[in-house]
Amino acid sequence: MTRWMKETQKGTPVVVTMENPTFSVVEINGADAAFRPVEKTRGKNAKQVTWFLFLKAYHAIGCVTWFATVLWSLMGAIRKRLIDREGVTLESEKMEKGKVLFTVIKVFLVSSLVVLVFEVVVYLQGWHFGNPSVHIPRAADLEGLMHLVYVAWLRFRGEYIAPPMQALSKFCIVLFLIQSVDRMVLCFGCFWIKYKRIKPKIDGDALKVDDIEGSACSHPMVLVQIPMCNEREVYEQSISAVCQIDWPRDRLLIQVLDDSDDESIQWLIKTEVRKWSQKGINIIYRYRLVRTGYKAGNLKSAMSCDYVKDYEFVAIFDADFQPHPDFLKQTVPYFKDNPELGLVQARWAFVNKDENLLTRLQNINLCFHFEVEQQVNGAFLNFFGFNGTAGVWRIKALEESGGWLERTTVEDMDIAVRAHLNGWKFIFVNDVKVLCEVPESYEAYRKQQHRWHSGPMQLFRLCLPAILRSKISPWKKGNLILLFFLLRKLILPFYSFTLFCIILPLTMFVPEAELPLWVICYIPVFMSFLNILPAPKYFPFLVPYLLFENTMSVTKFNAMISGLFQLGSSYEWIVTKKAGRSSESDLVAAAEREVKSIMEQQKIHRGASDSVLVESNQCKEHKETNGTPVKKANKIYKKELTLALLLLTASVRSLLSAQGVHFYYLLFQGVTFLLVGLDLIGQQMS
């Protein structure tokens, strides 16, 4: 090749002359001169380099400013929580539960801080964590003594700390995988329901008869119960929605079961009931003198009335639920020609799901609960846990199953399990939705979750013998014990707290027990993606949802332990705080109803006695003076804050060993714990 090139260069030269050339001639020395790489600095002058450096500096200053602003805001929030808490510290300390768990977390935190300081010093000495150089130092040498302590720590860590941590982490990983498989099976079942369009069906028009004069007789007698306790914000809209249910008035009775201990609220509810009664609605106000058993005791007392025997079905709505007028017409027909059916459960829809970040994250969880869990279990097993509201029961099923019992704080799950053991079937109607609220403050949500996770463990201890003695099939017993109780109520909070909040940060100090990347990243993200599928518009909240669920595992784990071992906090029943919000369509409809009812109200007042008018005026005074209750102050949650420091300490330790994914996870999870511990998520209170 080289010889050929040399021969081609020895040809006869040709001279070409051109007049008035329009280009310049550049002399090229050598065959490859034109193809030499151009230097990177060629074509740049000092001014361009200066502007380039200015641009880089501007971006750097912007990033630093953004970080400083976020840090300043966070420090301001911390100062507000720690300093401006007059009168709150005593209450929060009084309400602090799980002191044993809090002590254990503090021990882990202190140990981690001590080890971190020690290993930072060791790292600066050049003894890297991967393969430290071990030699026998001289006793008189101070550096040698420190090295000796470090080597002893490595040996102790490898022989005594790492093995039990590895065993516990493997056990939690197995539980994690089992629960992940359960979630995938549920999602596949939901997909199959959508693909095959499986849904409960009503044969014909169950409420239609040929005889026009006797058309009302085709509607069964229905009792509607509204249990409430100090529900100042929502009592009016709830009673109003129930009283507008489209059902023959002579075949419908509404019971307002008031357990309020505030006389002003009792007065308001009485007046609201009287207003609808004077409009011709068959409604009764009922108040218990002996308020025992919380909601279960309230419902049990109402079912003991003599007139209940005339009714065939009972619909239950909590105080913040607003059913549509056609609710009974969409649910009661399922009972016709289906004598084994004991419960028809409707789905919840939330009027405040986009109020703040907390409500959005709750909506993701509850959409998966209804769309996947309850729909799949209802379609393939005819069983699921009663939600305590927005459902219609056959009264015969309640009576044969033992009625409402006051032995746990989850009376709805209790009656559902006992009815299932007696052979009754359930139907979940995903198309029928009832408007309600989700808690807007973290304090209210935390108390609700504590009750929802301690009660099932109480119930499991009490009903396990009954499940084993029941006559249902073995696979139904296995579903109740292994899936319904153990896997979804006990194992889930146990492994999520132990694996992601305790073991993972501790593995940064015990590298021998390090968790694989697929455990802390791939599978959790995939499971979170499955959880968010029923609410696809909330996909941007995938990462906050994953971090927040791990944060809530502390409350759920503590509640599970309380219920399992019958601790005092497992018997607490605190009514979930409501905001009294309504959807826009409800507000418009309420305004139209108000205009239409002006004449009716005038007629009522004309026919009312003087005592009724006095009571009405007193009711207005109560609304003016007590209509806007004072908000409570935000609290500080010590366990969450302590875990935040533990996770952030572990993230610093991960930097020393150059573990990138672990660092980011621990950092973001620690910040999430910090925000939740300072009550900076959800509704901000005064």
Q: How many CA atoms lie within 13 A of 357 on its CB side?
A: 18
Mean of per-residue pLDDT scores for the chain: 82
pLDDT interval class at 82 (50, 70, 90): low
How many folded domains does the chain comprise? 1
| Closest listed residue to residue 466, CA positions, set 373, 402, 374 | 402
pLDDT at 126: 72
pLDDT interval class at 101 (50, 70, 90): confident
pLDDT at 324: 97
pLDDT at 96: 47
Burial of residue 70, with CB atoms counted within 10 A of its CB: 0-12 exposed, 13-18 middle, 19 or more buried? exposed
As a whole number of angstroms, the distance between CA 445 and CA 453 comes to 12
As a whole number of angstroms, the distance between CA 117 and CA 123 comes to 10
104: left (phi over 0), alpha (psi -120 to 50) or beta: alpha
Judge contact between 425 and 341, C-beta under 8 A: yes
As a whole number of angstroms, the distance between CA 447 and CA 443 comes to 6
Per-residue pLDDT tens over the stretch 458-488:
999 999 999 999 999 999 999 999 999 999 9
Pairing of strands 313-316, 252-258: unpaired
* Residue 376 belongs to domain with CATH number: 3.90.550.10
As a whole number of angstroms, the distance between CA 605 and CA 620 comes to 15
Per-residue pLDDT tens over the stretch 278-319:
999 999 999 998 888 999 999 999 999 999 999 999 999 999
Top-confidence residue, 626 or 529: 529
Q: Which phi and psi (to 5°) does residue 343 adopt?
A: -145, 140
Judge contact between 528 and 180, C-beta under 8 A: no
Identify the weakest region by mean pLDDT among 28-37, 46-55, 627-636: 28-37
Instruction: Determine, yes or no, domain membership for 546.
Output: no
The type of residue at 426 is F
pLDDT at 54: 73
The one catalytic residue among 259, 318, 414, 679: 259
As a whole number of angstroms, the distance between CA 560 and CA 554 comes to 10
What average pLDDT does the segment 150-156 reach?
85
Instruction: Determine, yes or no, domain membership for 592.
Output: no
Instruction: Determine, yes or no, domain membership for 4.
Output: no
pLDDT interval class at 658 (50, 70, 90): low
Instruction: Determine, yes or no, domain membership for 206.
Output: no
Write the CB contacts of 199 (distance below 8 Å, at least 6 apart in sequence). 193, 379, 430, 431
Per-residue pLDDT tens over the stretch 437-453:
999 999 999 999 999 99
Percent of the chain exceeding pLDDT 70 equals 76
Per-residue pLDDT tens over the stretch 553-564:
999 999 999 999
As a whole number of angstroms, the distance between CA 330 and CA 344 comes to 10
| Closest listed residue to residue 435, CA positions, set 227, 643, 581 | 581
Q: Can you point out the beta strands (E) in 208-340? A: 222-228, 252-258, 283-287, 313-316
As a whole number of angstroms, the distance between CA 370 and CA 190 comes to 11
Instruction: Determine, yes or no, domain membership for 548.
Output: no
- Exposure string of 494-522, with b = 16+ CB inside 10 Å and e = fewer, is bbbbbbbbbbbbbbbbbbebbbeeebbee
pLDDT at 603: 46
**Kind and range of the H or E run holding 574:** none
Q: Can you point out the beta strands (E) in 275-353? A: 283-287, 313-316, 341-350
Instruction: Determine, yes or no, domain membership for 656.
Output: no
Q: Which phi and psi (to 5°) does residue 392 adopt?
A: -120, 125
**Kind and range of the H or E run holding 393:** strand 391-394
pLDDT at 35: 42
pLDDT at 133: 45
Instruction: Determine, yes or no, domain membership for 96.
Output: no
Residue 412 annotated to the active site: yes
The one catalytic residue among 258, 318, 320, 412: 412
pLDDT at residue 23 greater than cutoff 60: no
Per-residue pLDDT tens over the stretch 397-440:
999 999 999 999 999 999 999 999 999 999 999 999 999 999 99
The type of residue at 319 is A
pLDDT at residue 112 greater than cutoff 70: yes
| Closest listed residue to residue 226, CA positions, set 260, 259, 255, 266 | 255
The 8-class DSSP code of residue 630 comes to P
Residue 205 annotated to the active site: no
pLDDT at 29: 47
Angle at 290 between CA 285 and CA 291, to 5 degrees: 75
Per-residue pLDDT tens over the stretch 202-249:
876 767 654 444 445 689 999 999 999 999 999 999 999 999 999 999
Judge contact between 147 and 153, C-beta under 8 A: no
Instruction: Determine, yes or no, domain membership for 503.
Output: no
As a whole number of angstroms, the distance between CA 335 and CA 333 comes to 5
pLDDT at 185: 97
Judge contact between 239 and 590, C-beta under 8 A: no
pLDDT at 612: 43
| Closest listed residue to residue 181, CA positions, set 603, 444, 491 | 491
| Closest listed residue to residue 553, CA positions, set 480, 500, 597, 493 | 493
Top-confidence residue, 565 or 137: 565
The total number of residues written for the chain in this structure:
686
Helix (H, G, I), strand (E, B) or coil at 322: strand
- Exposure string of 190-220, with b = 16+ CB inside 10 Å and e = fewer, is beebeeeeeeeebeeebbeeeeeeeeeebbb
Q: Which phi and psi (to 5°) does residue 391 adopt?
A: -140, 160
As a whole number of angstroms, the distance between CA 268 and CA 232 comes to 8
pLDDT at 410: 94
Q: Which domain holds residue 247?
A: 220-440
Per-residue pLDDT tens over the stretch 577-621:
777 776 544 544 544 544 444 444 444 444 444 444 444 455 555
pLDDT at residue 89 greater than cutoff 80: no
Q: Which phi and psi (to 5°) does residue 439 adopt?
A: -60, 140
14 alpha carbon, distance to own chain's centre: 86
Q: Can you point out the beta strands (E) in 24-145? A: none
pLDDT at 632: 66
CB atoms within 10 A of CB 112: 22
As a whole number of angstroms, the distance between CA 591 and CA 675 comes to 40
pLDDT at 87: 44
pLDDT interval class at 631 (50, 70, 90): low
What average pLDDT does the segment 628-649 reach?
82
Identify the weakest region by mean pLDDT among 46-60, 176-190, 257-271, 644-658: 46-60
Q: Which phi and psi (to 5°) does residue 44 adopt?
A: -105, 135
pLDDT at 25: 44
Top-confidence residue, 143 or 462: 462
